[in-house]
Structure 1
């Protein structure tokens, strides 16, 4: 009885995989004992089972419960030259593949990507998001990616997939030539185009890219600061508003820098006032230059019309009382008799 139980225990009667690890591929441990002909193969939903004979892929089973026999193992039967009706234990490697959708895998640029923007010129951009994939062709994936490992998880392929996604998105954005300022309004469209663009690369290894999301594309901090300054200037509009803005900015920076104290506040306000004074002087000089010709013209007109204004220095040429023209070296006006 004990010997019979021992021999019977060497034959596998039920082959199944209770997936609780999130693995992509799992190899059923059937190396030291044979599979009993007539054993039950249980393949659950979103699973695929593949029999491999001496490194060569044989039969593939979808979801369901299968009773192993020469009838449903046609390739394995041919490879082993079994006679029809073979009913002895046999050895084969059985692999279970997880066909579910693997979601929320992150992608992001390790280093900034240099792009040419129509508005800012050469810039460096960073981006990140997530993507989802699933096994589309289990035979291709098992042959090209899995190899002979016991368990294969997403960690073993995430680096390769991330590089492919970043490369594809960078190429797509470069070809689209969308200004950086308009990228945020095109994330959904770019995501859909990226899925179409990358699908062939995923299919080549038996996978399918089911979705891709671009969460954000950003510029270096110094470039973003320049954009903020430009936006602030556009909002300020005129000199008065700009001066108010500069003063408010100086107060805010001083409040955020407690180490600077009153000196920091004074420096900020002083810088704002100095700029305002410089601008005011420029406007005054411009107005002064424009007024000089008008003043000269007014003086000429007054002199021709008998104005009482006199040039500084020298003898008087017009009477200060009646405005009559005086003769040279005259001490009294010949018209009104006033003393010159």
Structure 2
């Protein structure tokens, strides 16, 4: 039975120089050590002494001389006597506490779901990476590794948590796609947000074993190439992008042309209306303007400019007609009601009704006949009493 004098990490000699970066835990090859054995621990690791399944001591980085004077726990480990030299026995593990830069993960099988937009049953797969750091070496060694393992590397760690990670990742991705209302192929723009939501769900799984989840990344979420609905979804997105680009192009042209474009379109509409024999002339033009107003501000502004009465400039011969029977460009003038008149029996000139003398010849005009308010007999409007019944004529009496 060999008794060792030096304890140090020798993983740099494993697998053709694998080094300590990929190894999370390694058990020293020997278990029996002399008093005054030298223990060498690097800055990126901790060393744990195990006896009967119990972690009896932990050492951080540095160089140590192990004997009962410096470390009283050595006395409890003594069980050998070789050549008069007292020795002790235990298992020694080196645990890497360095920050692991990247561990890869991926869904073990496609996630079956339905596209929220197109309603197609399809599947997605996801992949990415995460980084971890051992924060509690005792918990990590006892709960995760046990005390019989020789080497434990990062790939074994990734494999150990693959099923637990996959369960949470698959469920969260499916819920996110369902609740987002977006097309599956557009979810890739949200993978950073989705990774942030997954981090607090996955961290407790590792923390239970003394491991901290430092970072979690999603590299891609996509539909498998052999999925029959992949082409349908890709075509739908391509069609949507083409329409969007066309709309953006039209908007850019309108922005460059500005009001000239609006006037050109309004002139085109009115020209077509004029050519249409059933258009109804000006009335249809007004209707077209109404359509323009309903369609949007472009035609609305056009209609406003064309159908608003222009302001009369100074010196306009029609300016004095404000308030009179003035005509617009589209409505006929309202004719005044003809005044009541009668004909002079002397010269035949038309004289305003109710005149007592003719303005042309001076002839006295016959008084107008009115009915008596009592018997109805026609009497002169200037008569004070009715010659038939003697009733007073109020109109004649007041004249």
TM range (shorter): 0.5 to 0.7
1:223-266 Cα offsets, whole Å, 9 max, x none, are: 231123223444666xxx9xxxxxxxxxxxxxxxxxxxxxxxxx
Change (3 A) 1:67 1:119: same
Q: Does the 8 Å contact 1:58/1:76 carry over to 2?
A: no
Note the 1:74-223 alignment, pairs <5 A.
Answer: 74-75=72-73, 77=75, 88-121=86-119, 122-147=121-146, 148-176=148-176, 177-178=179-180, 179=182, 180-220=184-224, 221-223=227-229
Match status 1:26 vs 2:37: no
Q: Secondary structure at the match of 1:196?
A: helix
**Residue in 2 that maps onto 1:321:** none
Change (3 A) 1:51 1:232: closer
2: CA distance between counterparts of 1:77 and 1:200? Answer: 38
Q: Which runs of 4+ in 1 moved over 6 A?
A: none
1:297-339 Cα offsets, whole Å, 9 max, x none, are: xxxxxxxxxxxxxxxxxxxxxxxxxxxxxxxxxxxxxxxxxxx
**Residue in 1 that maps onto 2:232:** 226
Change (3 A) 1:145 1:95: same
Change (3 A) 1:11 1:187: same
Change (3 A) 1:235 1:40: closer
Which protein is richer in helix relative to its size?
A: 1
Q: Does the 8 Å contact 1:41/1:66 carry over to 2?
A: yes
| TM-score normalised by structure 1 residue count | 0.58
1: CA distance between counterparts of 2:237 and 2:48? Answer: 61
Q: Does the 8 Å contact 1:42/1:63 carry over to 2?
A: yes
1: CA distance between counterparts of 2:240 and 2:23? Answer: 55
1:42-78 Cα offsets, whole Å, 9 max, x none, are: 1101111000112222101111112213365455545
2: CA distance between counterparts of 1:98 and 1:37? Answer: 26
Q: Does the 8 Å contact 2:77/2:89 carry over to 1?
A: no
- Could you tell me which runs of 5 or more consecutive residues in structure 2 were left unpaired when the two chains were aligned: 13-17, 80-84, 247-277, 279-399
What is the CA distance between 1:120 and its match in structure 2? 3.4
Residue correspondences, number: 225
Change (3 A) 1:233 1:173: closer
Name the larger-Rg structure: 2
2: CA distance between counterparts of 1:217 and 1:211? Answer: 18
What is the CA distance between 1:181 and its match in structure 2? 4.4
Q: Secondary structure at the match of 1:50?
A: strand
**Taking CA–CA contacts closer than 8 Å with sequence separation of 6 or more, which of the two structures ends up with the larger relative contact order?**
1
Q: Does the 8 Å contact 1:59/1:76 carry over to 2?
A: no
**Residue in 1 that maps onto 2:370:** none
